[in-house]
């Protein structure tokens, strides 16, 4: 077996020790005589797995006791609707800071439930920056302020949680979730599809402050009512048990790796290695304003786009896959999530250098 | 490793050859250098897996060309709402035949979208039968007629698709999906959570006649609009890729086993073995009317309920697990889905006999 370096934006590479443990336990989990996929979600074997996952997630992220952790289905796309359904709470509008295509989609969905206020956008700059905080037109009566912590397509990331004057801050953290230490207490709600940093696709994690839940809009499905889901330990109906289990193993791996402090430092080193090279020559270019460059998704273009196909063909031959940029921005994108080792980024930079040497 | 016989109602036992293949491919699928969990859903490796799954499902079930096959999230519970959102098509009511708790839940959800007509129910008989077809009060103007082909808790199964006078027939087939040959053309829509007969939890299969889609109610999420999902090959947003892959392996296994004809015959033999024993003595009893007994979920009670705990303890020690009945009906339940071997049912009957011999 030969493992490649997989730079896909998600579903994405997973830690090898996690995959090895999944493999070892697949037919017989801890001597139970069955695999996790086959366990009733109501039995003590699976509930112990589910509870351990939540406990480790809370420890790794430092989730305060007054926050609920929910395990849902439907991805961030479902949450674009479910968040307003839960968080409007009698209010009529919400503020959106749009810094890329995902934020734009979230903003559009909000319009179905109330007034979506475009408090700031960097669309005029082709989503290569984050609008200066002083320019945001926030409404003090907004139900919440929505940001996308990291825009997967454009490679733009908030360096910190912005100050929003006491209005609950909601973040789509799908592609930067659990990639570095954060202060969960600065957010009203965090949501994330698991398939970037924490597990397979098909499970969505929501972390929400408990005073914000319990006032859903009429017409909200029970399985989308955060309070009902919380009261049922995310098992109102059959949850995606296997995905939940894999997430649990990833949180255990994060603890073994030294937690988010160590993981965040490693991610910063990986990003620096790639951005430093991108800035040191003229053949490749990353268009994002330096303070807002993503540590997770690094888009770059070749000076000569006619070489794109050759670059991709050669990278695949070199064991580096998933580098094609999103069709909306073109060029390349290297997604360097938690599970991408430093050796993978080094191999990518080596390949890029060699490509310049022979084709530049 | 010692595998037990797992009679859980779902998530449930999976075919051993499928689990072994998942295990073998977990770190490196077909020499790709990555596991299926790590693949981008947009790349050709995963799209080939997804397409093969649909092709094999269509072959195994004999799905006509004018039906769409969709792979969704949220389980049957989500479909209780999503079906009316899609299938009302300008009409104002739908007919429900309620033969157990799941049908009752579906009926209740329908009331949020229009008039839910309780055309027939066996609740007065504690859901131990199916109301005689002649007694059903169907409305010729109903948008659809909803049945639950197999009630997982009560162990009541429709032997055939009922005649409903040209109104589209909708069936929640979660716990009997792909358990025997059916004529898909008799249904307008079939939906099923995968976690009984076809895969892990976290993926839901919908088979729908294509003239019924494209007229959703206002407020329906795009990811719940069957037409939009169909147009995007069930990849409007990131699908549950790994669950989809496992379902594909299960459909391949079904083909290798001789298809639904052979699987249906085996399921009939398994059910007969258990029901014949239940009817041949007085210590255990199944309460369901014989023509409507489920071939998938066999509930039974002990003549002396005080022995329940001892029965369960002993069964577990004998390597037979998941036999506790649903709390709403008590007693025991043996779920004997496709992947439960005949030897498992034989072992259960042997245990039941031995228990009578020592405790009866």
Residue A52 has pLDDT above 80, yes or no: yes
B350 assigned to a ligand binding site: no
A127-150 pLDDT, tens digit each:
999 999 999 999 999 999 999 999
Is A81's CB within 8 Å of B22's CB? no
Q: Which domain holds residue A35?
A: 16-256
Nearest to A76 by CA among A169, A8, A175: A175
Residue B314 has pLDDT above 90, yes or no: yes
pLDDT at res. B360: 78
Least CB–CB distance from A241: residue in B4, B32, B200:
B200
- Is residue A240 within 8 Å of B246, Cβ to Cβ? no
From residue B308, alpha-carbon distances to A176, B238, B355 in Å are 50, 45, 11
Name, in order, each residue with C-beta under 8 angstroms of B152's C-beta and a sequence gap of 6 or more. B9, B10, B100, B102, B174, B175, B196, B296, B297, B326, B335
DSSP string over B329-342: T-SEEEE--TTS-H
Is A1's CB within 8 Å of B74's CB? no
B335 within domain boundaries: yes
Q: Does residue A173 sit in the same domain as residue A109?
A: yes
Would the ipTM clear 0.90, i.e. be above it? yes
Helical pair B16-25 and B241-256, crossing angle rounded to 10 deg: 130
Residue B106 has pLDDT above 60, yes or no: yes
Q: Give me the catalytic one of B56, B101, B104, B196.
A: B196
Q: Is A348 in a helix, a strand, or coil?
A: helix
Write out the H or E segment, with its range, that includes residue B223.
Answer: none
Q: Does residue A181 sit in the same domain as residue A304?
A: no
| Mean pLDDT rounded to a whole number for chain B | 97
Residue B1 has pLDDT above 70, yes or no: no
Where does a domain end: A228, A256, A284? A256
Task: Give residues 141 to 180 of A whose Cβ lies within 8 Å of B.
Answer: none
Q: Is B319 on the interface with A (CB under 8 A)?
A: yes
A10 within domain boundaries: no
A156-170 pLDDT, tens digit each:
999 999 999 999 999
State the CATH number of the domain containing residue A234.
3.40.640.10
Is A16's CB within 8 Å of B27's CB? yes
Q: Give me the catalytic one of A56, A95, A101, A172.
A: A172
Residue A1 has pLDDT above 80, yes or no: no
From residue A156, alpha-carbon distances to A122, A128, A295 in Å are 10, 7, 9
Is B321's CB within 8 Å of A34's CB? yes
Q: Does residue B155 sit in the same domain as residue B208?
A: yes
State both tokens at A287: 């268009």
B3 within domain boundaries: no
Is A27's CB within 8 Å of B239's CB? no
How many domains is chain A built from? 2
A7 within domain boundaries: no
A102 is catalytic: yes
Q: What is the mean pLDDT of residues B210-233?
A: 96
B238-249 pLDDT, tens digit each:
999 999 999 999
B238 assigned to a ligand binding site: yes
pLDDT interval class at B310 (50, 70, 90): very high
Tell me the C-alpha distance between A195 and A158, whole Å: 20
State the CATH number of the domain containing residue B354.
3.90.1150.10
Tell me the C-alpha distance between B229 and A224, whole Å: 20
Residue environment code for B157-167, b if the CB has 16+ CB neighbours within 10 A, otherwise e: bbeebbebeeb
pLDDT at res. A2: 81
Q: Does residue B286 sit in the same domain as residue B244?
A: no
- Is residue B47 within 8 Å of B34, Cβ to Cβ? no
pLDDT at res. B277: 98
B2 within domain boundaries: no
Q: Is A16 on the interface with B (CB under 8 A)?
A: yes
Q: Does residue B249 sit in the same domain as residue B295?
A: no
Name, in order, each residue with C-beta under 8 angstroms of B159's C-beta and a sequence gap of 6 or more. B291, B292
A350 is catalytic: no
Task: Give residues 39 to 58 of A whose Cβ lies within 8 Å of B.
Answer: 39-41, 43
DSSP string over B119-172: EEE-GGGTTSS---GGG----TT-S-EEEESEETTTTEE-SSPPP-TTSPEEEE
A5 within domain boundaries: no
Tell me the C-alpha distance between A221 and A219, whole Å: 6
Q: Does residue A23 sit in the same domain as residue A140?
A: yes
- Chain B residues whose CB is inside 8 A of the A240 CB are 73, 200-202, 240, 243
pLDDT at res. B215: 97
Residue A360 has pLDDT above 90, yes or no: no
Q: Is B219 on the interface with A (CB under 8 A)?
A: yes
| Mean pLDDT rounded to a whole number for chain A | 97
Q: What is the mean pLDDT of residues B224-228?
A: 97
B163-202 pLDDT, tens digit each:
999 999 999 999 999 999 999 999 999 999 999 999 999 9
Is B11's CB within 8 Å of A241's CB? yes
B98 within domain boundaries: yes
Q: Does residue A241 sit in the same domain as residue A308?
A: no
A259-301 pLDDT, tens digit each:
999 999 999 999 999 999 999 999 999 999 999 999 999 999 9
Query: Is A193 or A328 the better-scoring residue by pLDDT?
Result: A193
A27-49 pLDDT, tens digit each:
999 999 999 999 999 999 999 99
- Chain B residues whose CB is inside 8 A of the A33 CB are 2-4, 6, 319, 321
Q: Does residue B246 sit in the same domain as residue B304?
A: no
Q: Does residue B212 sit in the same domain as residue B354?
A: no
B270 is catalytic: no
Nearest 5 degrees, angle CA A156-CA A154-CA A137? 55
Conformation bin of residue A33: beta by default, left when phi > 0, alpha when psi is -120 to 50 = left
A226-263 pLDDT, tens digit each:
999 999 999 999 999 999 999 999 999 999 999 999 99
Is B200's CB within 8 Å of A81's CB? no
A336 within domain boundaries: yes
Q: What percent of chain A has pLDDT over 90?
A: 98
Tell me the C-alpha distance between B152 and B290, whole Å: 16
Residue of A nearest to B33 (CA): A3
pLDDT interval class at B74 (50, 70, 90): very high
Where does a domain end: A215, A233, A256? A256
Q: Number of A:B CB contacts under 8 A?
A: 189
Tell me the C-alpha distance between A41 and B79, whole Å: 20
Q: Does residue B117 sit in the same domain as residue B175?
A: yes
Tell me the C-alpha distance between A355 and B96, whole Å: 65
State both tokens at B297: 């979920």
Q: Does residue A234 sit in the same domain as residue A305?
A: no
Q: Does residue B124 sit in the same domain as residue B159?
A: yes
Residue A220 has pLDDT above 80, yes or no: yes
Residue B105 has pLDDT above 70, yes or no: yes
Where does a domain end: B209, B229, B256? B256
Least CB–CB distance from A219: residue in B10, B12, B219:
B219
């Amino acid at each position: 077996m030969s493992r490649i370096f997989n730079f896909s934006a998600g579903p994405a590479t997973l830690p090898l020790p996690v995959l090895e443990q999944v493999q070892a336990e697949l037919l017989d989990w801890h001597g139970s005589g069955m695999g996790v996929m086959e366990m009733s979600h109501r039995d003590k074997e699976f509930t112990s797995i589910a509870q351990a996952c939540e406990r480790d997630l809370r420890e790794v992220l430092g989730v305060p006791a007054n926050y609920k952790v929910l395990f849902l289905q439907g991805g961030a796309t479902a949450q674009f609707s479910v968040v307003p359904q839960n968080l409007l709470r009698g209010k009529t509008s919400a503020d959106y800071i749009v810094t890329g295509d995902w934020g734009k989609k979230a903003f559009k969905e909000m319009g179905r439930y109330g007034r979506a206020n475009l408090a700031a956008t960097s669309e005029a700059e082709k989503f290569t920056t984050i609008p200066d905080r002083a320019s945001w037109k926030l409404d003090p009566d907004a139900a919440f302020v929505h940001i996308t912590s990291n825009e997967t397509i454009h490679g733009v990331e908030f360096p910190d949680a912005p100050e929003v004057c006491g209005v609950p801050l909601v973040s789509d953290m799908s592609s930067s979730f659990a990639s570095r230490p954060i202060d969960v207490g600065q957010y009203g709600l965090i949501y994330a599809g698991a398939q970037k940093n924490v597990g397979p696709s098909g499970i969505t994690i929501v972390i929400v402050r408990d005073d914000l839940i319990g006032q859903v809009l009429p017409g909200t499905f029970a399985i989308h009512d955060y309070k009902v889901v919380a009261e049922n330990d995310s098992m109102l109906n059959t949850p995606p048990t296997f995905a939940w289990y894999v997430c649990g193993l990833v949180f255990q791996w994060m603890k073994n790796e030294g937690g988010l402090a160590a993981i965040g430092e490693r991610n910063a080193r990986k990003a620096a290695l790639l951005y430093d090279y991108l800035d040191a020559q003229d053949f490749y270019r990353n268009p994002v304003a330096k303070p807002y460059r993503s540590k997770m998704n690094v888009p770059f273009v070749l000076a000569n786009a006619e070489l794109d196909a050759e670059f991709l063909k050669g990278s695949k031959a070199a064991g580096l896959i998933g580098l094609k940029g999103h069709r909306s921005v073109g060029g390349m994108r290297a997604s360097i999530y938690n599970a991408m080792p430093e050796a993978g980024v080094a191999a990518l930079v080596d390949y890029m250098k060699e490509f310049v040497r022979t084709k530049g």
